[in-house]
Structure 1
Amino acid sequence: MSEWIKLKAKDGHELGAYVAKPNGEANGVLILVQEIFGINAHIRNVADGYAKDGFLVVAPAIFDRFEPGVQLTYQPGDMKRAYEFYGMLKPETTLMDVAAAYAWAKKAGKKIGVIGFCYGGLTSWLVATRGKDYEMQPSACVGYYAGGIGAVAKESSSCPVMLHFGANDSHIGQDQIEAVRSAHPEVEIFVYEGAGHAFSRDVDPNSYHAVSAKLARERSLEFLKSHLA
């Protein structure tokens, strides 16, 4: 079962959020942070999938600060708009919006984890490292192809983290991955041969790498269950 709800950030900004509910009692709560395409059909499907695995999932619409209800495809025209929105994003306000979802998630009385993809992957890492400044203390964080993570690799994490990267990712150099690995040998980092950026995006044949996506999801699910359930 799913629904849309309204959240309010600390600065008074109201934003939407997609909520996917499990059948029966939740194992834990997952905050799902979007790519740069809004809470589109793909992200909602990811949320629904984790709900089927027993998690209560909430996906805050971080683009609502610029335009309510943004849902973009992966076609060239929408890709251009996505990068325009991306240019407007700031970590401080994004973390405030995620914190609004976190405050809502706390009401469930369960352990809370964060999972994010692309920009959301970087945000998931920042929740792990900066979350306390926003009244967030997740039990685990998972980041997929977190572009720009090299610049913040030395920040200290307050919870277990798992990161997934494609070996052929043209957006994220090996140096960024090694920066995290060097600073945080305790972080579980997986690099998938033959996979590029957004390899888990099953609706996009230009990006999807089925074998890597399947393995990464299995690892993520096991990791989240071990820390949240």
Structure 2
Amino acid sequence: MIEVTANDVKFSAYRADPEGAPKGAVVVLQDVYGVNADIRKIADDFAAAGYVAVAPALFDKVKSSIELGSDAAAEGRSLSAEVGTDWSLEAIQATVDTVKDAGKVALVGYAWGGFLAYTAANRLKGVACAIGYHADGLLEGVMEKRRIPTLIHFAEQDPEITEEEMIQFRARRPDVSAFSYPDATRGFAYPASPAYNAAAADQALERTLFFVSQFVVGQGPIQLKNSGAYAQAKTEKKGKKKPEADDMGPPLD
């Protein structure tokens, strides 16, 4: 565990480092159960894939070392509401800053953390891409154009996200890559969860790793002037004098 500070509040973060030089970094954002064994395992898996992985314990703002069981969702939601979005974004930015020396940084969040990843993508600096699993509250900010590449994994049997909400999200945010998993429910990517679905989890992880590799390891897409989302490069200003070039072809004999 490492210690990080955001707005004078200290909090811990679970960090896992890869063997050898890192490809980049992944900030893993917790659900309402805290930085528990599932979240630590996910961080370890990203480290095994070659990334510095760090999972901030956002509940530390209220009480340290909180790990809740699957039957304590109501308590977890109460804690997440008490922590709040604004400070959480500050804490995520502070966490991103601790790993930016490893290269580009991706955000990967689960449920509440998926909502935070989606929101942080348009608020924070130094983030290359964002991925959310069964993210909460996406329709609240659905009309805001994405500033960086964003990927969402929907569980079609999720009791908290209706099919209509998934359809609305896809219709309103065509700039977001969105996949759904027919036989999966909330928590399908957690190996220790009763909801674990190996087929859906493996497919989602493959897509997540490809997405992270594309935008953290590789070069991100370049935005042409006035072309929409995902600005990654500045365009040349109008009126700027171009260097002279000889376009007369080869010299005549």
Same fold judged by TM-score > 0.5? yes
Q: Secondary structure at the match of 2:183?
A: coil
For residue 197 of structure 2, the aligned residue among 209, 212, 217 is: 209
| Counterpart Cα distance in 2 of 1:30 and 1:204 | 22
Q: Deviations over 1:38-73 (max 9, x none)?
A: 111111011000100000011111000100111122
Distance 2:188 2:165 in 1: 18
| Partner of residue 73, structure 2 | 79
User: Which of 105, 110, 117 is equivalent to 1:112?
Assistant: 105
Task: Using CA pairs under 8 Å that are at least 6 residues apart, name the structure with larger relative contact order, 1 or 2.
Answer: 1
Q: How many angstroms does 1:184 deviate by?
A: 2.0
Aligned to 1:69: 65
Contact 1:154 1:180 in 2 (8 A): no
User: Partners of 2:160 and 2:191 in 1: how far apart?
Assistant: 19
Instruction: State the SS of the aligned residue for 1:58.
Output: strand
TM-score normalized with structure 1 length: 0.90
- 1: CA distance, partners of 2:176 / 2:161: 18
Task: Write the mapping of 1:127-146 to structure 2, written as runs, cut at 5 A.
Answer: 127-131=120-124, 136-146=125-135
Distance 1:25 1:182 in 2: 40
For the residue of structure 1 that corresponds to 2:21, the secondary structure is: coil
Provide structure 1 residue ranges, at least 5 long, that are not aligned to the other structure. none
Q: Name the SS of the counterpart of 1:211 in structure 2.
A: helix
Higher helix share: 1
Residue in structure 1 matching 2:208, options 217, 220, 223: 220
TM-score, normalised on structure 2?
Answer: 0.82
CA distance in 2, matches of 1:106, 1:82: 29
SS at 1:130 equivalent? coil
CA distance in structure 1 between the partners assigned to 2:75 and 2:156 by the alignment: 27
CA distance in 2, matches of 1:187, 1:149: 12
* Number of residue pairs aligned between Structure 1 and Structure 2: 217
**Which residue identity lines up with residue 6 of structure 1 in the other structure?**
E
CA offset at residue 213 of structure 1? 0.8
Contact 1:38–1:72 (CA under 8 A) maintained in structure 2: yes
SS at match of 2:130: strand
Contact 1:32-1:58 at 8 Å conserved across structures: yes
- 1:124 equivalent in structure 2: 117
Match of 1:99, SS? helix
1:182 aligns with 2:171: yes
Partners of 2:183 and 2:104 in 1: CA distance: 34
Report matched runs for 1:149-188 at 5 Å.
149-188=138-177
CA distance in 2, matches of 1:166, 1:89: 26
- Following the alignment from structure 2 to structure 1, what is the Cα–Cα distance between the partners of residues 175 and 147? 12
Shift of 1:177: 2.1
Select 2:21's aligned residue among 18, 22, 25.
25
Instruction: In structure 1, give the amino acid aligned to 2:118.
Output: W
1:113-145 deviations in Å (ceiling 9; x for gaps)? 1000010011110011222xxxx2311111000
Following superposition, the deviation at residue 26 of structure 1 comes to 0.6
Contact 1:31 1:57 in 2 (8 A): yes
**3-state DSSP of counterpart to 1:31:** strand
Q: Name the % identity.
A: 28
Q: What is the Cα-based RMSD across aligned positions, in Å? A: 1.3
In structure 2, how many angstroms separate the alpha carbons of the residues matched to 1:59 and 1:188? 24
| Structure index of larger Rg | 2
- Matched with 1:8 is 5
Which residue, 51, 72, 89 being the options, matches 2:83? 89
Aligned-pair distance for 1:80?
4.0
Separation (CA, whole Å) in 2 of partners of 1:106 and 1:137? 7
Asked whether the 8 Å contact 1:169–1:195 carries over to 2, the reply is: yes
Q: Which moved more, 1:96-105 or 1:178-187?
A: 178-187
User: In structure 1, what is the Cα distance between the partners aligned to 2:215 and 2:80?
Assistant: 31
